Amino acid sequence: MGIGPKEVFNTEAGQPSGLDFSLYWEAWNKLKSESALNPDTKKMIYGSISGMLSSVNDPYTVFFTPEDNQRFRQDIGGEFDGVGIEIVQKNGLPTVVSPLPDSPAEAAGIKSGDIILEVDGTNTSEIGFNEIVDKIRGPKGSTVKIKISRAGVDNPIEFDIKRDTITVKSVEWREIDKNGKKIMYVKVRQFGDDTGNLFEQFANEAVKEQPDGIIIDLRNDPGGYLETAIDLSSYFVDGGTVVIEQDKDGNNKELRVTKKARLKNIPTAVLVNGGSASASEIMSGALQDRKAAKIIGEKTFGKGSVQELIELSDGSAVKITIAKWLTPNGREINGKGISPDIEIKAKDNSQSDVQLDRGIEYILSGN
């Protein structure tokens, strides 16, 4: 006997009126009664939800099982086991946003924009996105084989990457002394749980030290919390708008500074590249539009949409795109990215960091 809508727990809670689900239940009952694979009811429910979300053709609107949801929260919290890459489903393909700094993936040579073709011999076109993530993840000390396609490279590239515990301290800084001038360099790895407090510590030190310049490194920063991007931008932007949130109906909401601009009078450069995404683009776009910093490096990733993470009753969650971000001047980020004021491409297999060098040059010369 097939399982109808009233035989599945709580199916009718919040059900909108006027919708005919008879076709769905017809397919459900056929699968349950005819399949020789003994399909699991919970997996069918989760698969249904996942398929529903994928119908909007947005790589950032996704379903998280309870395990996926827990893992996502561990990621943003800054510690997990794996190889250290941020990936999204872009144009139907699992695509690397960026390898995390000092991660096994970065050390192996994984780059922003790489498309993952296989994981441990399994073709990624044959499995779902969450399963791809699960296969890449694994306990510390184990090894995963990843095959990727890279723009400009004719043949796929294979990597054997040893997993490790990825601990991401999201903000670190140091002083650079050059030609008798003091520059404070701050690396923001992600906009996570600890970022606000750590950046406040940096700001306190910068106010005390009064350096000749600040370099903010957002390269390969995949983003994180919107609120944190606004907080960090506010140290440099004196009042007014940091980012504009545009909802599905085209209505704009200006999100304004949240802190005193304690660092506004210190010459500032921001380093970005193709792995700078999401909250990184909000900050770089805000500082660029508000003339608070020079943006140096390469065009950013182009993820300018707002996601809301909504917990469901069993610990699973849906992450839904609810709006898109615009810079203070109304420029669209999504699909376009932030173009640098000073474009300089990184040099592969080079010991020198030409983008950081250009940032230092800007601080020293003012151009």
Q: How far is CA 87 from the centre of its chain?
A: 8
The domains of the chain, with CATH numbers, are 5-54 (no CATH), 79-167 (2.30.42.10), 171-307+318-365 (3.90.226.10)
| CB 317, CB 284: distance < 8 Å | no
* Residue owning tokens 């002394």: 177
pLDDT exceeds 60 at position 220: yes
What is the pLDDT, as a whole number, of residue 86? 82
355 by Cβ neighbours in 10 Å (0-12 / 13-18 / 19+) ranks as buried
| pLDDT-derived band at 3, boundaries 50, 70, 90 | very low
In angstroms, the CA 328 to CA 290 distance is 7
For the beta carbon of residue 101, count every other beta carbon within 10 angstroms: 17
Q: Which residues pair with 182 in a beta bridge?
A: 177
What is the pLDDT, as a whole number, of residue 77? 67
End-to-end CA distance of the chain: 75
Rounded to 5 degrees, what are φ and ψ at 113?
Answer: 95, -10
In angstroms, the CA 246 to CA 104 distance is 37
Token pair, residue 316, equals 């699973």
Token pair, residue 31, equals 């699968």
User: Catalytic residue numbers?
Assistant: 278, 303, 307
Collapsed DSSP state (helix, strand, coil) of residue 153: coil
Q: Give the model confidence (pLDDT) of 45-69 as tens digits.
A: 999 999 999 999 998 899 999 988 8
Token pair, residue 151, equals 């723009």
pLDDT exceeds 70 at position 11: no
Mean pLDDT of 232-252: 96
Q: Give the model confidence (pLDDT) of 72-110 as tens digits.
A: 777 666 678 899 988 888 888 999 988 887 899 999 999
* Residue owning tokens 């990733």: 301
In angstroms, the CA 278 to CA 300 distance is 9
pLDDT exceeds 60 at position 5: no
| CB 60, CB 88: distance < 8 Å | yes
Q: Give the model confidence (pLDDT) of 301-340 as tens digits.
A: 999 998 888 999 999 999 999 999 999 999 999 999 999 9
Q: Give the model confidence (pLDDT) of 188-214 as tens digits.
A: 988 988 999 999 999 999 999 999 999
pLDDT exceeds 80 at position 273: yes
Beta-carbon contacts of residue 326 (< 8 Å; ≥ 6 apart): 243, 244, 245, 246, 252, 304, 332, 333
pLDDT exceeds 50 at position 14: yes
Collapsed DSSP state (helix, strand, coil) of residue 97: strand
Q: Which residues pair with 157 in a beta bridge?
A: 148
Parallel/antiparallel/unpaired status of strands 93-99 and 85-90: antiparallel
Size of the chain in residues: 367
In angstroms, the CA 322 to CA 312 distance is 17
Mean pLDDT of 2-18: 53
pLDDT exceeds 50 at position 2: no
In angstroms, the CA 81 to CA 139 distance is 6
Mean pLDDT of 18-38: 91
| pLDDT-derived band at 1, boundaries 50, 70, 90 | very low
Q: Give the model confidence (pLDDT) of 132-184 as tens digits.
A: 988 998 999 999 999 999 999 999 999 999 999 987 788 999 999 999 999 99
